Structure 1
Amino acid sequence: MLSTLQFLQPWEPSLAIQLLCTLAVGLYITGLVEGYRSGHREGFWKPFAFLLGVALMYFVTQTQYDYLSQYMFFIHRIQHLVLHHMGPFLIALSAPAAVLGRGVPDSMRRHAGFLRPLLLPVRIAYRILQQPVIATVLFVGLIFFWLTPSIHFDAMLSAQRYALMNWSMAVDGLLFWWLILNRAPDGLTPQLSYGRRILILAVIMPPQSILGAYIALSRQDLFDVYAVCGRAWPVSPIVDQQIGGLVTWIPASMMSVVAAVILLSFMFREHRSRRSTPMPACSPSNPISSTTPV
């Protein structure tokens, strides 16, 4: 038990991450309670997905797992799989906007109008980053950027660059999967057709697979920073790199397949819902009926 508690302690505490995770969970639970009182119940799976997504992102950054990720390449790749894929995917899948909104205190809502002019640059930047082409290039490009050996070497030896790397992966993951899994009406986040979303998922798969395969099948130690710093476990550099390449290659690509299947289920559900909606009855304002010649 003592070793477990020690493992759950932060290796490099980040007040920003701790506050954001605490705020997100606090607002969500408050929103669930308010929704329960007003008859808006979320069931089990959406809250489970949201809380699990936040917990996973917290776990890989604010426990001793973060230490291991700095001294084992394949652990680092799992960390980024969580930050860029799994955690944001689960959060976006839970569609938490309404619940989080209900969790905001009334006093803050009353003063929200004063913040709108200040948030205008953020809204503009968000709208630009959510353009499909930009979002797709950025999602794949960040993976290639941080896995460029020379850049990766510098990032792993600098606390500031290491934090920037993890933050960029997490924020970009949230932006991308929010765009892909968004089911709200067209607003600040573009409402893409299901076909375009599945196309984007198909586009991001080959680059990730090629990069992961190249790393996994390479006989050269591409990331020698782990030899410089020393590995946490007695694993050979090539084996460490092969496992890390497989993590980049297979699970990351499979996330696109899982997302496409979920999108298809959304599409079929909406199609069935439209088919089951009764046709409007004939009325004076709608005089055309099956017996009226056209």
Structure 2
Amino acid sequence: MANFSLLLGALAYCGSPPVPGALTWTLDPWLVLAWGSLTALHLSHLAAGRPRRLALAGYGIALLAFVSPLCNLGVALFSARVAQHVVLILIAAPLIAAATLPERGRRAPVGVGPLVLACGFFTAFLWAWHMPGPYDATFFSDLVYWAMHLSLFGSATVLWRLLMAGGVRQPAMLVTGLIAGFQMSLLGSILAFADRPFFAVHAATTAPWGLTPLDDQAIGGLIMWVPAGLLSVGVALYALGAHLRRLEAAEPDAPVVPLAPAAYVQNGPMTVGKVSNMATARNSDALISPQ
């Protein structure tokens, strides 16, 4: 096991499996340069103001997830790696997606097909990278490591972008959002309630943190399960609110009923006969009135 830990430390992108009090930052200058260039390029294509602030926040949070001690802790703990994924998928990705939205009046309608494809790719990537073989492989190859992160982060950003688009039909958005949240919750529950650890790479790295590999895996499952459930609830509430606003906007204004004249109130609807009788009575009053 000691030799395995040494091998892991030599090959893992985020460094050696840490022990308490020895967490390190992963300050890769090439990563910082590449990520900074990508951020600057994207910002140059966004309008000044809110879109740029959202994008800058999203890229900044993602960079922190890659270089902060969370990355290093993920070498030792599966739960920390899951937390890193949650930060990328549920915080950084929606911020960047929101920054790319055009003005509300200029948003093109989104069909059901792109939603299904985006949700399908995101689901496939999420489940594939949390299978034992592909997951363990990310610790022994930088190429595989970045393939995992970029596919998860990219597919999540595209999915968020489509879910936020104003032209998407609300039922389709609701169903897609619920499916995305449900499949994350399902994967999290499987990990949380498993009766054995799945990931050999963490067999000898969790003990310094007072956890067994199974305990660590269960915590990781909960970290994935709970935020995904909140995602489902949030999407459902957003879709419901948008649906209610649409119904309110489509509801015609109540017709304005003019006040009835006194003659109408006293005598009821006016007819030709009633008008003639009222004229005759008025003439009679004029004839008998004193001069």
- TM surpasses 0.5: yes
Q: RMSD of aligned C-alpha atoms?
A: 3.4
Aligned-partner SS, 1:157: coil
How many residues end up aligned between the 2 structures?
227
Pair 229,235 (structure 1): closer, same or farther in 2 beyond 3 Å: closer
Residue of structure 1 in register with 2:144 after alignment: 161
Return the alpha-carbon distance in structure 1 between the equivalents of residues 211 and 43 of structure 2: 37
Q: Give the conservation status (yes or no) of the 8 Å contact 2:192–2:221.
A: yes
TM-score relative to the length of structure 1 = 0.65
Deviation (angstroms), 1:140 = 1.2
Q: Give the conservation status (yes or no) of the 8 Å contact 1:92–1:182.
A: no
Pair 93,224 (structure 1): closer, same or farther in 2 beyond 3 Å: same
Q: Aligned AA for 2:151?
A: S
Query: Pick from 201, 213, 222: which aligns with 1:246?
Result: 222
Matches within 5 A, 1:1-294: 10=27, 13-14=30-31, 15-25=33-43, 28=46, 31-32=48-49, 49-94=54-99, 96-97=101-102, 131-183=114-166, 191-227=167-203, 233-275=209-251
Return the alpha-carbon distance in structure 2 between the equivalents of residues 173 and 196 of structure 1: 17
Residue of structure 2 in register with 1:282 after alignment: none
Residue identity over aligned pairs, in percent, reads 22
Deviation (angstroms), 1:9 = 6.2
Deviation (angstroms), 1:20 = 1.7
Return the alpha-carbon distance in structure 2 between the equivalents of residues 246 and 259 of structure 1: 20
Any stretches of 5+ residues in structure 1 without a counterpart? 1-5, 33-41, 99-126, 184-190, 280-294
Return the alpha-carbon distance in structure 2 between the equivalents of residues 58 and 195 of structure 1: 34
Return the alpha-carbon distance in structure 2 between the equivalents of residues 130 and 17 of structure 1: 31
Residue of structure 1 in register with 2:268 after alignment: none
Q: Give the conservation status (yes or no) of the 8 Å contact 2:196–2:214.
A: yes
Larger Rg: 2
Report the more deviating stretch, 212-221 or 258-267.
Answer: 258-267
Aligned-partner SS, 1:218: coil
TM-score relative to the length of structure 2 = 0.66
Q: Give the conservation status (yes or no) of the 8 Å contact 1:209–1:248.
A: yes
Return the alpha-carbon distance in structure 1 between the equivalents of residues 252 and 62 of structure 2: 40
Any stretches of 5+ residues in structure 2 without a counterpart? 1-22, 104-109, 256-291
Q: Aligned AA for 1:262?
A: Y
Report the more deviating stretch, 70-79 or 57-66.
Answer: 57-66
Pair 133,257 (structure 1): closer, same or farther in 2 beyond 3 Å: same
